[in-house]
């Protein structure tokens, strides 16, 4: 097969799993594919544009894996490494249209985390960016590494995976012991689910799992509220 016969994909730097959203779930793909090597992109870089960057699919793997690896090479240099994490932080919460179901990788349990511990440590030690995206990436990696610390500020992460069916995971951080509310609202602003209702949580990082089997497909908003802080994020259910 000649070079002109190879599939050309549109890579959006930061959307490592090509699900249409730049969020914390993209980190898992970098970790899983760490140091895989393939075809460099003609136009390398981390800038985001409406059409994406044209990239020849990595055909030294099967079609599915080759496509997933091509998207994971965010900067287009032909290697998946800690530099690609920079694209996630820089393009945090950017979105684009895609007909692909994405190549979402979920880590389940300590056994999976231990398998990739060296890769996670390498990425964590190299992370130097600032801003909401980088802060959430850092928090997530510390969670995977079981690094215990008390955060300085409140934070509410994007859920992952997103879109999802029927369950998704959300991380939040508390700098002190708090009574919290965690509610889900529909697109009209109506309360549809009380996940946590005035429950005491200690300071630290917390993960909650949302099961939305009783909710229909669509756009929803989830809100974390304490006595002196609140934040709202959006999530999408697809059934």
Q: Encode pLDDT of 20-79 as tens digits.
A: 999 999 999 999 999 999 999 988 999 998 889 999 989 766 677 888 999 999 999 999
CATH number of the domain located at residue range(s) 153-239 in this protein:
2.60.40.1930
* pLDDT confidence band for 130 (50 / 70 / 90): confident
Q: Token match 């756009």: residue?
A: 219
Tell me the C-alpha distance between 173 and 163, whole Å: 22
Tell me the C-alpha distance between 53 and 41, whole Å: 8
At 182 the pLDDT is 97
* pLDDT confidence band for 2 (50 / 70 / 90): very low
Q: Token match 């409140």: residue?
A: 154
**Domain coordinates of the chain in residue numbers?**
1-147, 153-239
pTM of the model: 0.62
Residue 100: C-alpha distances to residues 19, 64, 72, 107, 129 (Å): 7, 11, 14, 21, 29
* pLDDT confidence band for 160 (50 / 70 / 90): confident
* pLDDT confidence band for 1 (50 / 70 / 90): very low
């Amino acid at each position: 097969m000649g070079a002109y016969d190879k599939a050309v994909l549109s890579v959006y730097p930061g959307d490592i799993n090509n699900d249409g959203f730049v969020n914390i779930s993209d980190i898992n793909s970098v970790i899983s594919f760490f140091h895989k090597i393939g075809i460099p992109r003609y136009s390398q870089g981390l800038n985001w544009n409406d059409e994406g960057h044209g990239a020849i699919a990595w055909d030294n793997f099967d079609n599915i894996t080759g496509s997933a690896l091509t998207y994971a090479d965010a900067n287009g240099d032909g290697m998946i490494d800690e530099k690609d994490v920079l694209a996630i932080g820089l393009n945090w919460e950017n979105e684009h249209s895609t007909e692909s179901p994405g190549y979402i990788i979920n880590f389940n349990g300590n056994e999976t985390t231990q398998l990739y511990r060296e890769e996670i440590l390498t990425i964590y030690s190299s992370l130097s960016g600032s801003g909401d995206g980088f802060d959430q990436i850092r928090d997530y990696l510390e969670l995977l590494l079981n690094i215990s610390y008390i955060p300085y500020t409140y934070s509410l992460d994007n859920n992952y995976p997103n879109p999802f069916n029927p369950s998704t995971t959300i991380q939040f951080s508390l700098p002190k012991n708090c009574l919290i509310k965690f509610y889900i609202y529909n697109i009209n602003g109506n309360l549809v689910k009380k996940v946590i209702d005035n429950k005491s949580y200690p300071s630290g990082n917390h993960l909650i799992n949302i099961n939305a089997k009783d909710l229909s497909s669509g756009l929803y908003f989830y809100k974390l509220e304490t006595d002196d802080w609140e934040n709202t994020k959006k999530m999408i259910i697809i059934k």
